[in-house]
């Protein structure tokens, strides 16, 4: 059974720092992995999709990597801003359904 774990559960950093969020999964047989952002009480905003055959994807200040064989993905956020404060979730597409991590709550201090 696929399990997704995100470390750390919470992270607080000063504005301007670069940071890395981690996601691991137990079964490497995935179609893809998505990173989402969730603001408090709000919906799920897709940030990046990495197909299982890809190693990384970039969107603006965000870069996500995928090492399928080791069951790991990272989300790199460059030059963090207070507006990046949110919970970041990773989800793996296993058998046409997304299996989710518990998220990393990120606080960027001005």
Partner 1 sequence: EPEVTQTPSHQVTQMGQEVILRCVPISNHLYFYWYRQILGQKVEFLVSFYNNEISEKSEIFDDQFSVERPDGSNFTLKIRSTKLEDSAMYFCASSEDAGMNTEAFFGQGTRLTVV
Contacting positions for partner 1 (CB under 8 A): 31-32, 34, 36, 41-46, 49, 51-53, 89, 91, 93, 95-103
Output the smallest distance, CB 100 to partner 1, in A: 4
| Closer of 3 and 17 to partner 1 (Cβ) | 3
Number of other residues whose CB lies within 10 A of the CB of residue 84: 18
Write the burial class of residue 4 (CB in 10 Å: 0-12 exposed, 13-18 middle, 19+ buried): buried
Output the smallest distance, CB 50 to partner 1, in A: 10
**How far is Cα 37 from Cα 45, in angstroms, rounded to an integer?**
5
Output the smallest distance, CB 78 to partner 1, in A: 22
| Closer of 81 and 95 to partner 1 (Cβ) | 95
**How far is Cα 55 from Cα 72, in angstroms, rounded to an integer?**
11
């Amino acid at each position: 059974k696929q399990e997704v774990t995100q470390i750390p559960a919470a992270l607080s950093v000063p504005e301007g720092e670069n940071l890395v969020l981690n996601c691991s999964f137990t079964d490497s047989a995935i179609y893809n992995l998505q990173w989402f952002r969730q603001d408090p009480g709000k919906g799920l905003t897709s940030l990046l999709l990495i197909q299982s055959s890809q190693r990384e994807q970039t969107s603006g200040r965000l870069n996500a990597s995928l090492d399928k064989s080791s069951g790991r993905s990272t989300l790199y956020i460059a030059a963090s801003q207070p507006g990046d404060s949110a919970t970041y979730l990773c989800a793996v597409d296993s058998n046409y359904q997304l299996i989710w991590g518990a998220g990393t709550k990120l606080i960027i201090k001005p």
